A and B are shown apart, each in its own frame.
Chain A
Amino acid sequence: MTTLGHFRTPLLQTPFHPRTAAANVLSRWGPWGGYMAALCFGDVDMEYTAIRNAASVYDLCPMVKYRIAGRDAAAYLNRLTLRNAATLPVGAVHYTAWCDDDGKLLDDCTLFRNGPDDFLICCQERHLPWLLDSAEGFDVQVAEVTQDIAALSLQGPCSASVLAAAGFDVEALKPFRMARFAFAAGEVTISRTGFTGDLGYELWIDPALALPLWDRLMTAGAPWGIRPIGSDALNLARIEAGFIITNLDFVPAHQALREDRPRSPLEMGLGWMIDWDKGHFTGRQALLAEKQAGSAWALVGLDIPGNVSAEGSILYHDKRTEAGFVTAAAWSPALKASIALAQVKARNLPGGNLWVEIYALRELQYVKLMLPVTVVERPFFNPPRRRATPAGRV
């Protein structure tokens, strides 16, 4: 008999599991990228409050990571992704995305440049066949390194203070820049990035040093009320920040069963990423054609009257014709408003007259609401502390 047994542990545990399991008092776990991820450690309201008031720690290990290295790494990424990777400085990060030949989104990602020829893609879904096929003709090595890097997200207005107390002086670190610090027998890379729309950092480390790092942060952050958060609280924060998630706000082209499901970056509000002048990139022709002809869909932020979250709701034009659907929604504690991300048919966007049909649960009984919605700018929540450098100390 062999000792293999994927069936015994279909979901992997992250290097932080001994700590997150101990803290997860309700045992609320969900699958994420093949890992067990905490949905909530016990109190989603307090976890959200930690993000906006103090400091929160989120286990990022399940994010899929690919190392792109080699002489042509920048050229390869320029061909693959929408932004200009060649102009990304070493030690910097940018948010980008990539498409198939039809200009439809496959995923979005943060791209880290660790060296002139050394990048890290950090994304939601797995793409090895596409990344390997795209490497044809480039002197580049593509390797999935998800298991080789442990990652923690430290977010909140006190996060710089917590890091300072932990011995990492990140005060001068600008948004989308990273720095390396000695830690234990190795080092930790800290980037000023995150998914909360607030001041925050992401810490990248050898999995062997994961637990000491966790302990260091928790001890140092105790005076600020640091606490681990689950995906539920993070989701609330990311909606306030107006961030999209692959497979929640759009179906990646490689997974779409229906041919009309994939969306282009123009349709998902990512048109600003596209560097039309950097030379050819995958999907460029299709996107250029779409830019000229107009897009079929638009991703918008919505302000919704009342206090009922509009999750899963259908949008109507003039209360009658279906005009789109909500992909993410929440009551925002930071804004005291009901907000939503929605895909709207582009032809229904001018002129307004958009309505949302919400099924409000009132003691086991759904009540149908038809409410007028207002298209608003994203991010919904964008505090100055998010970008202030030096980072604010509390």
Chain B
Amino acid sequence: MIHDAIVIGAGHNGLVAACYLARAGMKVCVVEKNDWIGGAAVSRELYPGFTYSNCSYVSSLFRPEIMRDLELPKHGLQILPYEGGAVFQQGGGYLGMFRDHDANRREFARHSRRDAEAYDIYARDILRFCRFIRPMLMRTPPDPSSLRPRDLSELLWLGKQMGALSERMRARMVQFWTMSIADFLDEYFESPVIKGYLAVSAIIGTALGPMSPGSAYVLLHHYMGDVDGNVGAWGFARGGMGAITRALTDSLKAAGGEVRTGQGVERIDVTGGRASGVVLANGDVLRARRVISNMDVKRTFLRHVDEAVLPGEFVRRVKTFKIRGSSGKLNIALDSAPVFPALPEGAPNVRGDLHFTDSIERMERGYDDWKAGRFSRDPFQDVMIPTMIDPTMVPPGKHFMSCFVQYAPPKIEGRDWTDADRDAFRDTCLNQIETYSPGFKDRVLHVEVRTPRELEAEVGLTEGNIFQGELTFDQLLFNRPVPGYAQYRSPIRDLWMCGSSTHPGGGVMGAPGRNAAAEVLREAGMKRGMRDAYAVL
């Protein structure tokens, strides 16, 4: 049997692409090396009765157009907005975040009356950037060196978007794309803890510090999503992040598609300059008219394609593509809800993101450790307890805590991580939480620790980079992943890319998968069956 398309990797982007292709009438098979589906949008039960969000842990970027096209709500997907959040300060204080605008302003005013009002101007500016960038997410980047009518018209469209802005706004935008988040926040705020909170989105998943130029854009990447029109808001997938890939799998099956787990791809077969199928780890050969890789660009081309069939320049570019791992993760089963004495009783902040890094300086010091090849001694943690909102993941009264940890380098001082390193990493994180939540460690039933080593080995993310390549300006739009290959095609005919290594990048967004499917269908001369991007506000 020859499949119309084989998709490598049952992560969210692979499944999104597969769904669109199957719905358009293609015979699609998704192959997955793990025994479970999900890639980095995965929920597994690693402790009896507890469902984890093992990798990604919150949702905002996942495009509602895709959810609607693929009927994911019908297949059980629910996104729950979350409340609040807090940064705990050294010395017992805190900065709380509230969904209510006035409550939030008054809380910020406790730290700086000026900042409390500056926040509105800041939020307005960020929203302006979002309005600019959002329409680009669901479009194939134009090739600026091409004279094809479609590339020219897309370039023209891009130019029009730019031209619609005032001169000042254009200048501001270019500043923003290239600045460090620390410098950008200094233009609005004075309070260290407010800046410490707001800088978070600029470093998550990125091997940059808050003082590194280019980090400001990363913040935008985390703000351009929405939960039901609430731009910049984040939420939980009910049932854990695996609910997203479960719904996608059900949608795929309903459209006649197939997912095979437990056998990874050993090699992508190239015959006569075209991708003709894959060879699985067990030796099985699957034939296909096209192969679509949801693996990152390094893994796809440096591990699973014979280098001899690739142009040298392409290989060189893939090798230098920045994909440095910067983070780890702790997934914790808790016997009872942790208590944070700094917070007022009944505060909704525990239903949001909890941080312990109360200044940009501390965050940057954490990055210094990464540069030296060590995990941060005083790490930044983005701690969430989704079970404060989601009743489906654990038994009543118990909790699941997700701790995203930064910074963790791909290698420890140049050598591979050891189990001892991993345990030390775990203890560093648990001890930090214990400082702000006495008795926390006694509540712990089980901890899954994921350093870049585990992220690479289990999920297949090269160097453990959660975005399949860093989101720096030099690696975005028509430069992602490689100039000349930003339109989801590769140098090999019928071998396509659909993962986060491609435009518009990482996060559980689905846009790369959707855009790749659009290109595949366009080339096949088939109807695309997908809606255009919704307007922003």
Q: Which residues of the partner chain A approach B228 to less than 8 Å between Cβ atoms?
A: none
| B96 A6 Cβ-Cβ under 8 A | yes
A4 at the interface (CB under 8 A from B): yes
Partner of A129, one of B102, B105, B118, B344: B118
Q: How far is the CA of A272 from the CA of B204 in the complex (A)?
A: 52
Partner of A1, one of B98, B121, B344: B344
| A4 B344 Cβ-Cβ under 8 A | yes
Q: Which residues of the partner chain A approach B165 to less than 8 Å between Cβ atoms?
A: 259
- Smallest CB-CB separation from B100: which chain A residue? A10
B4 at the interface (CB under 8 A from A): no
With known contacts A6-B107, A7-B347, A257-B124, A128–B117 Cβ distance under 8 A: yes
| B114 A128 Cβ-Cβ under 8 A | yes
With known contacts A2-B343, A259-B165, A7–B100 Cβ distance under 8 A: yes
With known contacts A2-B343, A3-B344, A6-B107, A257–B131 Cβ distance under 8 A: yes
Q: Mark A1-38, 1 if CB is under 8 A from B, else 0.
A: 11111111011100000000000000000010010000
Count of inter-chain pairs, beta carbons less than 8 A: 74
B342 at the interface (CB under 8 A from A): yes
Q: How far is the CA of A90 from the CA of B513 in the complex (A)?
A: 68
Q: Mark A131-168, 1 if CB is under 8 A from B, else 0.
A: 01000000000001000000000000000000000000
With known contacts A10-B98, A254-B120, A257-B124, A132–B114 Cβ distance under 8 A: yes
| B131 A126 Cβ-Cβ under 8 A | no
Q: Which residues of the partner chain B approach A129 to less than 8 Å between Cβ atoms?
A: 114, 117-118, 121, 188
Q: Mark B83-94, 1 if CB is under 8 A from A, else 0.
A: 010000000001
| Interface-centre pick from A6, A12, A31, A128 (highest chain B CB count, 10 A) | A6
Residues of A in contact (CB 8 Å), total: 24
| Nearest-Cβ distance from residue B263 to partner chain A, whole angstroms | 50
Q: How far is the CA of A6 from the CA of B166 in the complex (A)?
A: 38
| A257 B344 Cβ-Cβ under 8 A | no
Q: Mark A250-287, 1 if CB is under 8 A from B, else 0.
A: 00001111010000000000000000000000000000
- Smallest CB-CB separation from B342: which chain A residue? A2
Q: How far is the CA of A8 from the CA of B169 in the complex (A)?
A: 39
With known contacts A1-B341, A7-B100, A257–B117 Cβ distance under 8 A: no
| A144 B344 Cβ-Cβ under 8 A | no
- Residues 213-247 of A contacting B (Cβ, < 8 Å): none
| A1 B343 Cβ-Cβ under 8 A | yes
| B127 A257 Cβ-Cβ under 8 A | yes
- Smallest CB-CB separation from B105: which chain A residue? A34
| Interface-centre pick from B106, B110, B124, B131 (highest chain A CB count, 10 A) | B106
Q: Which residues of the partner chain B approach A132 to less than 8 Å between Cβ atoms?
A: 114
Q: How far is the CA of A253 from the CA of B169 in the complex (A)?
A: 13
Q: How far is the CA of A221 from the CA of B348 in the complex (A)?
A: 45
A385 at the interface (CB under 8 A from B): no
B372 at the interface (CB under 8 A from A): no
| 16 pairs of residues in contact across A and B, judged by CB atoms under 8 Å | A2-B94, A2-B342, A4-B96, A5-B347, A6-B96, A7-B100, A7-B103, A7-B344, A7-B347, A126-B105, A126-B120, A254-B120, A254-B121, A255-B124, A257-B127, A259-B166
